Structure 1
Amino acid sequence: MTSTTSTAEPAQVASPNRKHKDHVAKRYPLWFLIPGGLIYLIFFVVPTLASFYFAFTRWTLFESEWIGLQNFTLFLSEPGLIGSLWNTLVYGFVTSGAKVVLGMLLAVVLSMPLIARGYLRSVTFFPVLLSAVGVGLTFQVLLDPFNGIVNKVWTAITGGDGPQWLTNPDIALLSVAGIDVWKGLGIATLIYIAGIAAIPNEYFEAARVDGASSWQVFRSIILPLSFPATSTVILLSLIGGLRSFDLIWTTTGGGPGFSSDVIASVIYKQYQAGYYGLSTAGNVILFVVVTAIVYPLNRWLNSKETDL
């Protein structure tokens, strides 16, 4: 009787210890999220909440005054706001669509067994590493209508004067969009290459056995099975396009006139003029616009992924 009791007691004591160790083991990986969570809280959550507050104030570095919705009313009454909003949407959707199409095509080519494939992939990705400000200033020189090398080559080939890429109101915004596509195409291509590499090789082998053409392989295998990569490229490029500022500002400054003004450049002009509360309200409006476009699009893309 005594021996039975003595062996039962250690078991009763050991069970809570095991539960405690299991609880600690489950929580242990979560501790590694704390540094990243603190950085996210300090550099994103707190500034975002602060910007929502200061959007309702007239503020300087030393004081602020609550004025309610006046900043939003004044910003929405800007004469060029509708034009800048339209330019923002055009710029965002044009750059996003071009990166999706060209990124997919380049990824398909660079996934083939080519000579110097690694070098070609590096060249494609290289513009991503460059500063947007440096790229903007460089293309401002290259696209100069009189002394730029692009128009000199155009004249040598066609014999006529080249377009005024950055000074013609009709094409200035699209010219900057083209520069943006050149700079950001490497990211889209890289994502697509990863998406194509994740497709099981059995699908391609079965297609070869069935005698499928390259177009049939692309349409029936690569295009549908790389849809997660497509949704990622769409969201990233669209968010970047709708928020774009530095490339536009360094190439055209929003001009000529207001032809290439986007919401971000209008915000910056208000900030330059010292209207800090007004520019903060503009940032909040831009945040709402981007969220209103991207969030439902993200939900729709996720629903399409689950249907595959």
Structure 2
Amino acid sequence: MFKFKEPSQETREIMSKVALGEIANIDFEQSAIDKIRSLTNHSEVKITSSGNNSIFIALSSVEGDIIIPDQGGWHGFKQIAKFLNKNIITLKTDLGIINTDYLDELEINDKSALIFTSFAGYTAEQDTKAISKYCKSNSITTIEDASAGIGDSEKKLGNGKYSDIILASTGSPKIINVGSGGFISTDDEEILKATSLPQKLSKTSDIICSGIDSELDNVKENLELALNATCYLKKCIPSAIHANKRGVNIIIPHEDAKSISWNLKKSLPTDKSGFVTTCPNYNRVKQKAIAIEVKNLDYSCLKKEYLDKILEELKINNLQ
């Protein structure tokens, strides 16, 4: 049986001790902030109560349009932008991948922002360098949701050199996996000054801060494990969308995605929530497909024997 990803044993123990009042002399929030600064190369960092609250803070700071990819993002982008009464511009993508040529086709007002996820649909890394170059030249703020990309050893994702604002959820089952919380980072002090009210409404607890601090110690290694496992699977599934790109899940197009997904859920059981989902889904791709959410699996289940079991079941269902 596959195991759904949980916070590490060390993280659970620290959070428990903080909850019981056994640890009271450590500023876990400041420690987590310092670690996030090191990862993002941003000077300003705030811990928040959730990823969506981080998005709320980021979008609250935007005076112009909010540019959102047509698929492969996070549905909260549009929901929060609508709530804030922002003008939304939908950007055509290549199955979630941002192509800056499509930005040239849009009429964008001054002081606008592009929000996107590190991995399109969790399955393919965005070219943050190209996105950054275009947006800086056109005075567009870049907001990267790095919930799945923070800790990238190649420093392409979750890097403040490219993204003006970086935010993340630290809920389950993210790379920083605490069950709650999030963060936002930037080098622009004015962004955080202008959003002081939503920040006050987004405070989190010492318990969550201690968990984030603990999970950050292994975030680079954990992301690398998920990337390597996904790469291993993709090499055996040439029909996968963006098969040659780094990602933390596999999306396989199929007209009968619903019934095949049902078969896979039965043959690949988990102890809690599953790791097989179906498309069309804005958060993945808007076509019929099966998604194997490698990012949802406990790191103990990213070993070869578990990955080979997934491949075996995919072959039985004619997906390999």
User: TM-score scaled to structure 2, two decimals?
Assistant: 0.22
- Structure of higher CA gyration radius: 1
User: TM-score scaled to structure 1, two decimals?
Assistant: 0.23
More helix by share: 1
The higher relative CO (CA closer than 8 Å, separation ≥ 6) is in: 1
